[in-house]
Amino acid sequence: MTTELYFPNCQNPLVKLHTPFSKKLTIFVVQMISLPENKLSVDFLDAYSAALDYIDNIYNNLEDSRKNIGGCLITTSTGKFFSNGVDLENSIGNSTFEKILPLFLARLLSFRLPTIAAVNGHAFGGGSVLALAHDYVIMGNQRGYICMNEILLGVSINSCFFETLRTRFSSPLVLNKFVLQAHRFTGDQALKAGFIDQAVPNNKVLKSAYKLAKSLSPLVLNRGITYGLTKTEKNKTAITSLLEKKAWMGSTHSKL
């Protein structure tokens, strides 16, 4: 296992995958480096998916004696934005983007490791959905908003976004505020509303994610298969809708 990789390549990197702990090489960090906005596009989703492929390959090839080594995945960025949503110019009406986006979200919702979004800055539009597709969300409470602002841009919200959001929102009133009023939630407001897990000072977001990752890692047994199947059942309604009954090759979706 290497400790640092760039996708799609070192010359044009959009995502960096690294393992911050030399003694715990199964805690992975996906750092989005398509700065300053980390917008969602075909190239970005392909790069992120390649990072997930790399992690999957590690676990698929573990010897039986190492099948319970644990693990966790953290997604984060640096600067003003966690992600500023979909690259509207290049993605709206792009049939390739519309095909791979739901597949990507379904894969994240059922990934074999616990996933943590360490939201360092603004998460707008599709960027908020990306964060909320993780199992846990830790957000800074000093600066940065999480917001579904498509309605302010005159852009309809993709159905796959709604399917993903429903895995995190238990209150119809909060969901209405999020998608129909484009309310900008601070970290503290999002925590109170119940759709993120922690709100901490911005300079402690990543440190808090590391702490949570270490506590969750021992839950990953049997190459993460059990963890992935449990998540698949938990998010079954959303995943089934996202995939339209199509299985993702090599994943736990075939169990649906």
Res. 250: pLDDT tops 80? no
CA–CA gap between residue 169 and residue 63 (Å, rounded): 39
By the 8 A CB rule, do 76 and 205 touch? yes
- Measured in whole angstroms, the distance separating CA 211 from the mean position of its chain's CA atoms is 18
Query: How does the average pLDDT of the chain come out, rounded?
Result: 92
By the 8 A CB rule, do 179 and 157 touch? yes
Give the model's pLDDT for residue 248: 38
- Banded pLDDT at 244 (limits 50, 70, 90): confident
Q: What are phi and psi of 243, to 5 degrees?
A: -90, -15
Share of the chain above pLDDT 70, in %: 95
Query: What secondary structure letter does DSSP report for 224?
Result: G
Domain that holds residue 214: 4-255
- Banded pLDDT at 231 (limits 50, 70, 90): very high
Give the model's pLDDT for residue 252: 43
Give the model's pLDDT for residue 1: 56
Res. 8: pLDDT tops 70? yes
Give the model's pLDDT for residue 239: 94
DSSP letters along 141-191, please? SSS--EE--HHHHT-PPPHHHHHHHTTT---HHHHHHHHTS---B-HHHHH
Query: Tokens 């505020």 belong to which residue?
Result: 177
Burial class (CB in 10 A: 0-12, 13-18, 19+), 170: exposed
Tell me the mean pLDDT in the region 20-31.
90
Nearest CA to 39 out of 4, 14, 10 is that of 14
Nearest CA to 198 out of 106, 107, 136, 115 is that of 136
Res. 53: pLDDT tops 80? yes
- Measured in whole angstroms, the distance separating CA 129 from the mean position of its chain's CA atoms is 8
Question: Which residues have CB under 8 Å from 218's CB, separation 6+?
Answer: 70
Give the model's pLDDT for residue 25: 80
By the 8 A CB rule, do 81 and 38 touch? yes
- Pairing relationship of beta strands 15-18 and 27-32 according to DSSP bridges: antiparallel
Give the model's pLDDT for residue 255: 39
The CATH number of whichever domain residue 15 belongs to comes to 3.90.226.10
Summarize pLDDT for 86-141 with one digit per residue, the tens. 998 888 888 899 899 999 999 999 999 999 999 999 999 999 999 999 999 999 99
- Banded pLDDT at 2 (limits 50, 70, 90): low
Summarize pLDDT for 199-222 with one digit per residue, the tens. 999 999 999 999 999 999 999 999
Give the model's pLDDT for residue 256: 36
Give the model's pLDDT for residue 251: 42
Say how many domains are in the chain: 1
